[in-house]
Structure formats: structure tokens, C-alpha cells
Amino acid sequence: MIVGVGIDVVDVARFVATLERAPGLRTRLFTAAERDLPAQSLAARFAAKEAIAKALGAPGGLSWQDCTVTRVSGGAPVVQIIGTVAARAEELGVRSWHLSLSHDAGIASAVAVAEG
């Protein structure tokens, strides 16, 4: 059963400019496993976190640090959640995630499907 669907799109150049203006955002938005990725990948992960939040109903109080998006070469992205994000997912009965990331022509996008 589908519990929620979320989508988000990020302008990569604008996102990078924001990170350059406010370097502390990199630490606030991304986990240690994500921080050193290339700009396009960071933008896609930011879009993924937004899409995941939307799939959870976009409640306030979710911590960006409670969601990590990883990828195994040649495999689909993997969503790892803890803390506030895991609590909201449990509340809604989410048992698994489906996530698609893309970046092309200066745009990064993500679609997240929460399944119960």
C-alpha cells in the first residue's frame, strides 16, 4: 500500500550558490556520508530529502540529519532513516522506500514513494 508520494526539483547552480553563501548549511543539511559528494549529487540528495518529507506529509520538526541517501554503484538509491524521520515513518506505517534521483541540464530532481 502506498502511504505517500513526494517530489522535488532543485536548480543546481542556485543550490551551490546558497551553500557557498552559507557554508554551515552543508553540515546542517547533510550527514557525514553525504557531505563530500559533488554539487549535482548534493542537490539531488537535498531534493530527495524534500521529497521524503513530502511523502511523510511534510510535518514540522523533521531533522535533515535523520535521513541519509546513499547509492551503491549500479544500484538504486537507498534511504536510511533514524530519529524524527523514522518516528514519523513508523507513525504512518511506512515499511519501505522507493527513491529515484536525477540530475541533468542544471536541474536535480527526486521522487520518493513511501510504502506500508
- pLDDT tens for each residue of 74-95: 888 999 999 999 999 999 999 9
Residue 115 has pLDDT above 90, yes or no: yes
Of the candidates 55, 58, 98, which has an alpha carbon nearest to the alpha carbon of residue 78? 98
Residues near 104 by beta carbon (within 8 Å), at least 6 away in sequence: none
* Domains of the chain, residue spans: 2-115
63 CB-contact burial (10 Å; exposed 0-12 / middle 13-18 / buried 19+): exposed
By DSSP bridging, strand 107-115 and strand 67-71 are unpaired
Q: What percent of the chain has pLDDT over 70?
A: 100
Task: Work out the angle at residue 10's Cα, subtended by the Cα atoms of residues 14 and 107, and round it to the nearest 5 degrees.
Answer: 90
Rounded mean pLDDT, 15-31:
94
Tell me, what's the pLDDT at 73?
A: 83
Q: What is the pLDDT of residue 25?
A: 92
Report the pLDDT value the prediction gives residue 52, as an integer from 0 to 100: 98
Q: Does the reported pTM lie above 0.75?
A: yes
| CATH number attached to the domain at 2-115 | 3.90.470.20
